[in-house]
C-alpha cells in the first residue's frame, strides 16, 4: 500500500493554517498585525514544513521536533518583528497552544463533516475565535472589576468600580490620578464641609469641560483576597451615570492599581 503525496497541496494547506494561527496569536497577545508580514511568515512556515517532509532525516523524531520549533520561532519573529527573548518565548508558547487547539478542532470538524480543507480550517478558526472572545470577556470581568469603599468625614460609600485604561484624568494642581464617581453614589459622601474644586477634562464628542472634584479621606480597593488602601485620593463627580446598565458606579484611574 502506498499513498500519493502532493507537495503543492501540502504547502498551500500549511501556509493557510499557519496564517490563521499567526493571526490568532497576534489577536490573543494584542500585538499589531501586518498582514503582509503574516503572509510572509506563513509562507516561510509552509516552506519549512515541506523541507522537513522531504528531508532524509524525517524519520528521526529529535530532528523533526527541532525543525518544527525552529520554524515556529522564525515565523513568530517574521510576523511580529520580535527580538526580545521573553517576548519571543511568550509568542512561541501562544503560537504553539493556538496551533494545538486549532489542529484539534480541525480534526474534529474534518471527521464530522465533509468539508474541504480550506473550509474546515476557517470553521476551526471561527470556533476558536468565539471561544477566545468568550474567555477574554470573562477574564476582563474578573480582572477589571473591583469592590471599592470610599471614606469622607466619617461617611462611607461602597461601590462597584471598573478599571479603565482610557481614563487618564489627573488633577492639574497636584498631578494625582483622578477616578470618576457617579453623582448618585457621591451623594452619600457630600456635605456642607466638602471643599469642591474643578478638574478640566477632554473627551470624544466634547472638546473640553469641567468636572467637580474633591479629595476623599481614603479609598479601599478590594481585589479578591487583597485589600489596597489609598490615602487622600481625588475623585471627580459626574452628573451622568458612568455606566448605562448600572453595573458599576466608579471609573478607577489605572495608575491607582499600579502603585
Question: pLDDT tens-digit profile of 67-79?
Answer: 889 999 999 999 9
H helices of 81-217, in order, are 85-112, 117-144, 183-186
* Residue 243 forms part of a structural domain: yes
Residues 152 and 193 in one domain: yes
**63 and 157 both lie in a single domain:** no
Question: 2 in a domain, yes or no?
Answer: no
CA dihedral (41, 44, 50, 55) positive or negative? negative
Tens digits of residue pLDDT in 91-113: 999 898 888 888 788 777 777 77
Q: How many residues does the chain have?
A: 259
Q: Select the more confidently predicted residue: 39 or 54.
A: 39
Are both 129 and 147 inside the same structural domain? no
Rounded to 5 degrees, what are φ and ψ at 120? -60, -40
* Domain edge (last residue) among 90, 117, 134: 134
Decide if 44 is inside a domain.
yes
- pTM, entire model: 0.53
Residues 11 and 129 occupy one common structural domain: yes
Give how far Cα 48 sits from Cα of 45, 55, 111, 199, 259, Å. Answer: 5, 10, 27, 58, 46
pLDDT per position as a tens digit, 9-36: 888 888 888 898 898 888 888 888 898 9
Q: Highest-confidence range of 10-14, 90-94, 123-127, 221-225, by mean pLDDT?
A: 90-94
For the chain, the domain total comes to 2
Q: Are 123 and 210 in the same domain?
A: no
Final residue before a domain boundary, out of 100, 117, 134 = 134
Same domain, 26 and 75: yes
Range of the domain at 57: 7-134
Instruction: Count Cβ neighbours within 10 Å for each residue of 207-245 and write b for 16 or more, e otherwise.
Output: eeeebbbbbbeebbbeeeeeeeebeebbbbbbeeebeee
Amino acid at each position: 500500500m502506498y499513498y500519493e503525496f502532493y507537495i503543492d497541496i501540502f504547502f498551500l494547506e500549511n501556509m493557510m493554517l499557519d496564517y490563521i494561527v499567526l493571526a490568532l496569536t497576534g489577536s490573543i497577545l494584542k500585538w499589531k498585525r501586518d498582514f503582509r508580514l503574516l503572509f510572509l511568515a506563513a509562507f516561510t512556515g509552509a516552506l519549512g514544513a515541506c523541507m522537513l517532509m522531504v528531508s532524509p532525516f524525517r524519520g528521526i523524531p529529535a530532528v523533526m521536533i527541532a525543525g518544527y520549533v525552529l520554524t515556529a520561532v522564525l515565523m513568530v519573529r517574521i510576523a511580529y518583528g520580535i527580538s526580545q527573548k521573553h517576548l519571543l518565548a511568550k509568542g512561541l508558547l501562544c503560537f504553539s497552544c493556538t496551533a494545538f487547539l486549532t489542529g484539534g478542532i480541525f480534526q474534529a470538524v474534518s471527521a464530522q463533516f465533509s468539508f474541504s480543507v480550506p473550509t474546515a480550517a476557517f470553521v476551526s478558526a471561527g470556533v476558536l475565535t468565539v471561544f477566545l472572545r468568550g474567555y477574554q470577556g470573562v477574564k476582563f470581568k474578573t480582572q477589571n472589576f473591583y469592590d471599592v469603599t470610599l471614606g469622607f468625614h466619617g461617611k462611607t460609600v461602597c461601590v462597584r468600580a471598573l478599571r479603565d485604561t482610557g481614563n487618564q484624568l489627573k488633577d492639574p494642581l497636584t498631578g494625582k490620578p483622578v477616578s470618576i464617581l457617579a453623582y448618585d453614589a457621591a451623594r452619600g459622601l457630600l456635605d456642607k464641609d466638602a471643599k469642591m474644586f474643578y478638574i478640566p477634562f477632554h473627551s470624544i464628542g466634547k472638546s473640553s469641560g469641567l468636572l467637580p472634584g474633591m479629595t476623599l479621606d481614603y479609598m479601599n480597593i478590594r481585589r479578591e483576597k487583597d485589600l489596597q488602601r489609598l490615602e487622600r485620593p481625588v475623585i471627580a463627580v459626574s452628573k451622568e451615570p458612568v455606566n448605562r446598565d448600572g453595573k458599576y458606579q466608579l471609573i478607577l484611574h489605572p495608575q491607582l492599581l499600579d502603585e
